Every structure is written in C-alpha cells, then in structure tokens.
Amino acid sequence: MSSDCSICSSITTILYLIPLLFALIVIPFRLISDTRRKSRTVAFFHPYCNAGGGGERVLWAAIRTMQKKFPDRKFYVYSGDTDATKEQILLKARQRFGIELDPTNVHFIYMHWRTLVEARHYPHFTMLFQALAGLVLSLEAWIRMVPEIFIDSMGYPLSLPTFRLAGSKVVAYVHYPTISCDMLDVVESRQQTFNNSSTIAQSNFLSWAKLAYYRLFACLYWLAGKTAHVVMVNGSWTQRHITAIWSRRDVSIVYPPCDVEEFMKIESVAERILEEKKTVRLLSVGQIRPEKNHKLQLEVLHDIKEPLKKKGYNVELCIAGGCRNEEDELRVKTLKKEAKELGIEEELRFELNIPYENLIDELSKALISIHTMHNEHFGISVVEAMAASTVILSNDSGGPKMDIVKDFDGKCVGYLSITREEYAETVLKIVGEGRSQRDKIREQARKSLSRFSDSAFETHWNKQIEKVL
C-alpha cells in the first residue's frame, strides 16, 4: 500500500513540476523578447533564400509587394547563405525571377547554424531531427532579432511556436506539409517510395514502428500549426492536408506568383525546330531533389528515343534545375551515370542554376515541358511552361492535377500522366497530333492562367497580411 502511495505521490509531483518548469522557461523568454522586439519590422524566416526555386520566388514577390503596400515597415530576411552578400542575393533574385526590390529596405540577418537542418546529418528519423534542428535555427534567429511580425516562408514548423512565445505576430506560408495524410497512407498501405524504403515496406514491425513515429510527429506538427495567427498555403492540395493535420478552418489559398505576363511574351520557336531540324525538345524545370523524380524523365527519354527516330525525329531533354548543395551535385552525378547506362547521354543536357535570361531561351525552344513529381504541392514551373507556349506534360497528382492542368471552359490545356508508359505514350501522342491541335492547347492553356499572375498574388497576399498589421 505504501508503495502505491509513493508512486502516486511521484506522479503528482511530476505533473506539478511540468507546468512549473514550462513557466520558468517561457516567462523569462517572453520578458527578454518584449525588451528586444523591434517595432514595425517584418522578418521572413527563409534560410535558403538564395536557392533560386519556386519558394524563393514567393519570398521575393512577397517582399516586393509589401515594400509597395507598407513602405513604413522595415523588412528582414533570416538567411543562412553566409557565402553571399546582400547585393549578390538581390542580383540573383533579379536574374532568376526578374524581381526588382528596393535594396534600401530589405536587410539580411545571417544565421551560422543552417547546416544543422540539412538532411545529410540525419540518415534516420530525418523528419524529426530536421524539425528539431529548425527549432535550434529559429532560436539563433531569435537571438539575432525579434521582429513584430514573423513569417515562416520555408516550412520550419517549430519556428512558429518559438516566435509566438516571443510575442511576435506569426504567419505561415506553407508550400508543402512536413507530414501529410498521404505520407501516413503510404506507410500504412506499405507502399515503396523514395521516402519509404522496401526494407520498411516489406516488414510488419518496421511499418508499424514508422507509422507510430509518423503519428507522434503529426501531433507535434499539429501543436506547431496551432500557434500561427495567419496560415496561407499555395494550392488546393496543400490546403486539404494542412486543414486536416492542423485542424484549422482558416487556411487560405494564396497561389504562388507566376510571372505569367512576362512568360507570355516569349516567342516560341519549338515548332520551327521540329519542322526544320526534326528535333523534339523536352524541358524539365525544377530543383535537383529526389522527390522531383528526374530518374523517371530519363526512363521516358529512353523509351521515346527509338519510336521518334523511326518517325525521323531526334529528341533532346534539358534539365534546368537548381543545385543547392553537395547532395544535389551528387544526385546530378548519379543521373548522368544512369543516363549513360540507358544510352541517352547524347540526348541529355543539364543547365544547373540557370539564369532567368537563359531559362527564357530554353522555354522558347521546348516543344514539351515535362514534370514528374508525385503530389507536387503546386507547380510554379508548370504554370510558367504553359504561359511560355510549351505543351505541358505533368504528373497526375497534387497541385498540377487539382489547380493547374485541368480543362478550362471544357477544353484541354495540357496532359497528365503517372507511369513511365503513360508518359512515353503521351509524348508520342503530342508529337503525332500535329501543330494545329498543339496550338489549340497552347491558346487554351494561356487563357487559364490569369489566376496565377503576380497581380493576383499581390492582392491575396496583402489581404492576409493585413490581418496581423
């Protein structure tokens, strides 16, 4: 009996100590934050602001529109790009996206612990350790400055409660949920994917353990999401998952800014290249990451090479991708090795970290833009490709399926595929259906894109931001 009382007493003590310890940490943290907070400041948490991807386009477009709308505010970016100066970062934003910012009202706060969030450090439990590393990185950001408004524009969930506890107004722009219902379903159904290895998929115990880990992480993610004052997402697919995981009904869609007007100015020469040089040019635009599934593109290139050759056509694939670090460079080497094994190295070309002007040139020459990521959260490159008059062939999932490549006024704007065979068949179909049909698809695709323009983004972004100003 005394033993039972002792256990109960210990549990009661622990239950009392938990809120006490929490208060001892949080209260001083908040008091220090209150004395250090800079008024009329807006800070974006974007450790890889110089990466040159779709997320960076959102960052720079958001700052540009807020500089115009709220000129009395001071704008900061928490950046881990310690190897680049402010001038170099802003130059890349202009060269890659054509976005000009007022350099006098954007300042960079450099963080030196960014390496902690890189996946290469965590071969196991990657998602959890990266989230915890993001917490450490957000504490470094807190040490350097406490803003009035904090915007996580890159997807580090534990940065949200950090700055909420610091007294900042917290905004989340979610490109892609850290964990989604689809990820839970993949593990539960024991499917093999790039983030669910065959070893785990084939084991009852490992699948059960991973599912338990995912569910625990989903609880942590839910708690983090509850701390944001405003939540924006980039499309219907992300909205569906964030609404479910975070149990929120105030999740607003703000489509990423796509420079539709500028890309529509591109004069396509793809048909001339097809007619005169008998060359079918394919273009893939996207960062060199495993989920982009560039391997599938190589397999499709292999499968269409001979059928097109029999029809008198050559084929070329240009992969224009952002290469962020050594991991990405290693992936490029692996892709080149696979291309050699498939016998397509002569038909494949890489344009890494391609400048804006060169991207325009590549788009003007491409007959077909190919996109292979499953459950892409949105797909800025898909919109840009359609605006540039390439015929889009995207993955039949996620944002492209739900928001972009769907019939407009009952007419086709592009094509969707899932399997290697479907992709190859669709490329051959596009080439074989003739210029007249391709022109109809291009025209209809362009008509469908007004909702993704820079001006539409600015209107919806400012509407949401005004809630915390």
pLDDT of residue 22: 60
Nearest to 469 by CA among 96, 149, 218: 149
pLDDT (0 to 100) of residue 190: 79
pLDDT at site 6: 60
Q: How confident is the model at residue 21 (pLDDT cuts 50, 70, 90)?
A: low
pLDDT by residue (tens digit) across 29-78? 777 887 888 999 999 999 999 988 889 999 999 999 999 999 999 999 99
CB atoms within 10 A of CB 421: 12
Q: What are the structure tokens assigned to 28, written together?
A: 């001083």
Whole-number Å distance between alpha carbons of 430 and 393: 9
Section 404-414 average pLDDT:
93
- 50-54, 76-80, 218-222, 254-258: least confident range: 50-54
pLDDT score at 400: 95
pLDDT at 205: 83
Please give the pLDDT value at position 80.
96
Contact 126, 334 (CB under 8 A): no
Cβ-based neighbours of 452, under 8 Å, separated by 6 or more: 255, 256, 257, 258, 260, 383, 404
The pLDDT value recorded for residue 3 is: 52
Question: Is pLDDT larger for residue 176 or for residue 304?
Answer: 304
Instruction: Check residue 18 and give its pLDDT.
Output: 60
pLDDT value of position 17 = 58
- Look at the block and give the residue holding tokens 């993001």: 134
pLDDT tens, 270-293? 999 999 999 999 999 988 888 899
The Cα–Cα gap between 404 and 440 comes to 17
- CA angle, corner 70, sides to 83 and 158, nearest 5? 55
206 membership: H or E segment, kind and range: helix 204-225
pLDDT (mean) for 138-161: 96
Residue 12, pLDDT score: 61
Dist CA 254 CA 402 (whole Å): 14
Average pLDDT of the chain? 91
Helix axes 54-69, 86-97, angle to 10 degrees: 100
The pLDDT of residue 189 is: 78
Residue-level pLDDT at 466: 96
Q: Hey, what domains does the chain have and what are their CATH numbers?
A: 26-257+455-466 (3.40.50.2000), 260-452 (3.40.50.2000)
Return the structure tokens found at 427: 């490329």
Assign 16 a pLDDT band (cuts: 50, 70, 90). Answer: low
Instruction: Dump strand ranges (E) for 12-63.
Output: 37-45
Check pLDDT > 90 for residue 134. yes
CA distance 82 to 144: 14
